[in-house]
Structure 1
Amino acid sequence: MRIFKKINWVEYWTSHIFSFGQKDGLPYTETLYFRTDGRIHFGQKTSSNETYWRLTSTQLEILNENMEVTTTFELDKTLQKQWIGTFKLDENIHHVLNEVSEIQAIDTLINDASLNLNKKIEQAQLQQFNQLHAWLKPSNTQLVKIAFVVNAVETLDALIPLMLAIKENEQFELKILTFNRFFRGDEQLNSKTLVEQKLSEYDLTPVLNSNTPTLDLERLSNWSPDYLVRQSEWDADFPAAFAVKNLWWTKLIHIAYTVLEDFIENPNSKLPFYTQEYYENIWRTFIPEQLDDEAINVLDKTFIPRETYQAVGSIKALQIKKTEPVWPNNNNALSRVIWMPHHSVEPGWFQMGTFIDYAETIYNWAVDHPNISILLNPHPSLDIVIKQNDLSMSIEAYNSFIDRWEKLPNTEYLVKQNSYPAVAASDVILTDGISILYEGQILEKPIVYLERSDHVKFTPAGEKMMRGVHRENKVEKALQKVEYLLHQADELRDQQIENVKPWVSDAHPEQKIINAILTDFNNGN
């Protein structure tokens, strides 16, 4: 028996193999081991609740894919063959770690590998059978299966017309999966509910998922969709199970939640955003307009096939253009300004955000202009960025500002919902970026851009779009320009109309997308 103070717990946990499961139940895995990089190897499987591990002075903690503690094991003064821990999500459940001999673990791994190989052979045989069956079966009796994976209500309008068109098309079978959105590791707990409420407005019904993403992925793959649309290109927005690398078994479709992806430079690469490695996994990216020669030459530096990009027009642009105006304050006597600050207030990344520097100045301007109704509509992640970073404004100060803002008689606050009805009802947009700088032009609204000197540069396409925007690098000048535009016609309006013309020239881009899918499916590709 070894004394507690002599035990090297890191060495112990990383040099043994364990079975893991509920007490008095069959183990979930018989080959779990703790890697030295802090991750957990869960046998031949993955488990979102058992992804990472760490030691405290008294406990072994097991964490989920979001770095939240799920199970704790008390470190006794002696080593044991069996460890019993508490499942933090339901303390009536206890998990058990049992030491497994290397011989037993190797035998299990060999058996698991053999079973997996047999399963893959069976799946390949079944796939061949299904392909043969599809060739023999009349094409008009075979439905095209398509799934949507969505998590953000703010940008859902870029997909809803396509969902509705697919739902009404008898050649398709549609499934919609909803999840909470993640931002920089934080799960936005109400985001799934907001998405489902929005879908219900259009009589679109999501699948009842299990709250275990790995299981939902397995169920989805068993349904075997021919095509899949994930709402954004950012893996970090979704549960780890739905990372693009785990979706290799279907044809992925990308429909941008913004209108223009080639707008600002990528701060982490010499190549533009539309050439990220993500796009190497995509069957089709449907874009508003044809790539120019320069963009095509850039693609040649990547493994992205040129045919991946297909111009169809922009669902998002058309949705914005037909937005019905709604202003929270019904006082029609007041002029209306919508203030839309971006979340990139911390050093690095885009460095567009100006809220921390200019919030008080704009607050005082609102106090001094009671004849102007001012709606604050921050990026939905601004408060998260402030909370997660050591900045000159704390989250408490931010919340205090919002409280003071909402108490003014001529101000409103709008967050985590569709902002375009308010944009459509506004007279002037005051913003520091990003997508509103061009999407606001679709509604032909005067846009005053409060520009930081150190922001990430615009691309050539972005600079072209900025011809429709009033650029000011001092807050006082920006507010003066806002007041001017409240009473004078915008001399940049004609430029805005020219800028957005390619995006709105086709009234039904969703039909072009459906036709591309059907052509591919019927050709047996």
Structure 2
Amino acid sequence: MSRPIRVVFLVFYFEAWDALDAIYRGMLADPRFEPMVVSLPRKLTGYDKFRDEKKVSAFLESQGIEHERFKFKKSKDGLARLKELAPDYVFLNYPWQRNYKKNYQIEKLVEFTKVCYVPYFSTSLVQEPGESGVAPHQYTQPTHQLAHMVFLQDADTKAAFDANGRADHSFLTGTPKIDALMAAKTDVPSIWPIVRELPGGKEPFKLLWAPHHSYADRWLNFGHFNDQREPMLAFAQQHPEMDIVFRPHPFLFGTMTDREVMTQEEVDDWRARWDALPNTFTDLGAPLTSILLGSDALLTDGVSFLAEYPLVTGKPAIFWEKSVHWDFSPLGNIAAASTVTVHTMAEVEGAIAQAQEGTLPDRSAEIAALVKAVRPQPASAAQTIIELVAKDFS
């Protein structure tokens, strides 16, 4: 090889950097590669403009990752800089192109480089309404159709790519995200953002509450934060012996206001009342595996945390299930079986009390089945991806 393979990782969805981290670090340690990371702005649901590049950069800095910041007002200037870098490959971990500035969208990238896509999520847990197989949004978007290499977690999605003319561009590798989740218990320090002791030196029980952003039939429909927020605030007030960290999906507040489920004033009022309590905290960016490991229990209405929490901790999530939502996929049913499912606030309180007492129903067999289902091969997904890229370049 006459020169290293130049690879640029374009990042704005830093909340899912763990899908790319091991690939980047593996390439950094490999003389065949010359990787670099670029932080981008983004426009999430509810945003009136592109922003957050500073937040992306701060996260990367906190992880010790050298990176170049694309702070350009006009994305055409960023595109020109990207062309100057002359990457052989560009890695993405986020497929929806509407969240990228127009000159960073895949249609522009494929004009001068090869795009590689690693899904940001750990597992595909949900079916689309009216679909009996893999959800089309997992394989029919421009990212899936234009990427030179797509690295996949499960055989069913690989078969969907194959059936749609993408067999030579899709690869069943597993995902570094799953590998990172599985290794976290031994490799990652736990964190908890509330530091306090109860009288007598006893530690508080640590509950992580993680509501999803989807709320309507148009998309997933698992989230019901608007119904949860006041009962959970009252619960926190009634349980000063318990720490409760609120970990909203990154899109939650933007979706609530953009879809007019809540006004910005209602969001601000609730946040102010929540954050004012001595036993609550709102976490918007702690490393996922660290805060999962720091908790004693997780309460969530979906979706990916249903699988990710047991994979990291070996414990079942408490699944506050909405009465109607999109159907689970076969893998989603395996994940759901590993949870303790509740439907009412009374049931939520009962499950949390069981978690405090160490008497939650045993789900060890179901968690073992989940582990088996999400790992298509024992080898490191990151190293497999690195070798495939090296082979493609040669």
TM-score interval for Structure 1 and Structure 2 normalised by the shorter chain? 0.7 to 0.9
Q: Give the match for residue 510 of structure 1.
A: 382
Equivalent of 1:254, from 96, 117, 121?
117
Letter paired with 2:366: Q
Q: Equivalent residue for 2:152?
A: 287
Q: Percent same amino acid among aligned pairs?
A: 22
1:384, distance to aligned residue in structure 2 (A): 0.8
Match of 1:194 among 50, 55, 59: 55
Residue 202 to residue 411, structure 1, CA distance change in 2 (3 Å):
closer
Shift of the 239–177 alpha-carbon distance from structure 1 to 2, 3 Å rule, reads same
For residues 439 and 445 of structure 1, the distance between their equivalents in structure 2, rounded to whole angstroms, comes to: 10
Match of 1:499 in 2: 370
Alpha-carbon distance between aligned partners in 2 of 1:413 and 1:403, rounded to the nearest angstrom = 10
Measured at CA, do residues 160 and 480 of structure 1 come closer, stay the same or move farther in structure 2, by a change above 3 Å?
same
Deviation at 1:267, TM superposition (A): 5.2
Q: Distance in 2 between matches of 1:373 and 1:201?
A: 25
Structure 2 residue runs of 5 or longer lacking an equivalent are none
**TM-score relative to the length of structure 2:** 0.87
Alignment partner, residue 120 of structure 1: none
Which secondary structure does the structure 2 equivalent of 1:374 belong to?
strand
Q: Which amino acid aligns with 2:320?
A: L
2:237 counterpart residue number: 367
1:267–1:350 CA contact under 8 A, matched in 2: no
User: Quick one: structure 1 residues 166 and 268, their matched pair in 2 at CA, closer, same or farther if it must change by over 3 Å?
Assistant: farther
Pick which of 207-216 and 449-458 moved more: 207-216
Closer/same/farther in 2, CA of residues 381 and 423 from structure 1, 3 Å limit:
same
Q: Letter of the 2:205 partner, please give it.
A: S
Counterparts in 2 of 1:208 and 1:433: CA distance versus 1, 3 Å: closer
Matched, 1:276 2:140: yes
Which residue type is aligned with residue 413 of structure 1? T
Unaligned runs of 5+ in 1: 1-138
Amino acid in the other structure paired with 1:386:
M
Q: Do residues 345 (structure 1) and 207 (structure 2) align?
A: no
**Equivalent pair of 1:441/1:497 in contact (CA under 8 Å):** no
The 3 A distance-change label for structure 1 pair 269 and 150 is: farther
Residues 92-491 of structure 1 mapped to structure 2, 5 A cutoff: 139=1, 141-184=2-45, 186=47, 191-209=52-70, 210-249=72-111, 250-260=113-123, 262-266=124-128, 272=135, 273-278=137-142, 279-289=144-154, 291-292=155-156, 295=157, 298-299=160-161, 301-303=163-165, 305-321=166-182, 322=184, 323-330=188-195, 331=197, 333-346=203-216, 348-391=218-261, 393-443=262-312, 444-487=314-357, 488-491=359-362
Following superposition, the deviation at residue 297 of structure 1 comes to 5.2
Query: C-alpha deviations, 1:248-275, integer Å up to 9, x for none?
Result: 2322211111111x21123597751322
| Matched residues, number | 377
Kindly provide the CA deviation profile for residues 413-440 of structure 1, in whole angstroms up to 9, marking residues without a partner as x.
2114433322111111111111111111
What is the CA distance between 1:222 and its match in structure 2? 4.4
1:229 Cα shift?
0.7
Deviations 1:195-249 (A, max 9, x none): 2223234443223433321222233234432211122011012111122222223
Q: CA deviation at 1:489?
A: 4.9
8 Å contact kept, 1:314–1:504? no
Q: Offset at 1:517?
A: 0.8
| CA radius of gyration, larger in | 1
Distance 1:521 1:451, change over 3 A: same
**CA RMSD of superposed structures (Å):** 2.4
Rate the CA distance shift 1:195–1:520 in 2: closer, same or farther, 3 A. same
The 2-side partners of 1:174 and 1:473 are apart by: 47
The one-letter amino acid of 2:127's match is E
Given the superposition, is the C-alpha separation of residues 268 and 242 from structure 1 closer, same or farther in structure 2, using an over 3 Å criterion?
A: farther
Give the residue type in structure 2 aligned to 1:475: M
Deviations 1:369-389 (A, max 9, x none): 222211111112211112212
Aligned mates of 2:158, 2:280 — CA distance in 1: 46
Equivalent-residue separation in structure 2 for 1:187 and 1:269 (angstroms): 33
- Which structure shows the bigger proportion of residues in strand conformation? 1
Task: Provide the rounded CA distance (Å) in 1 between the counterparts of 2:376 and 2:294.
Answer: 20
d(CA) in 1 for partners of 2:274, 2:228: 14
The farther-off stretch of 346-355 and 356-365 is: 346-355
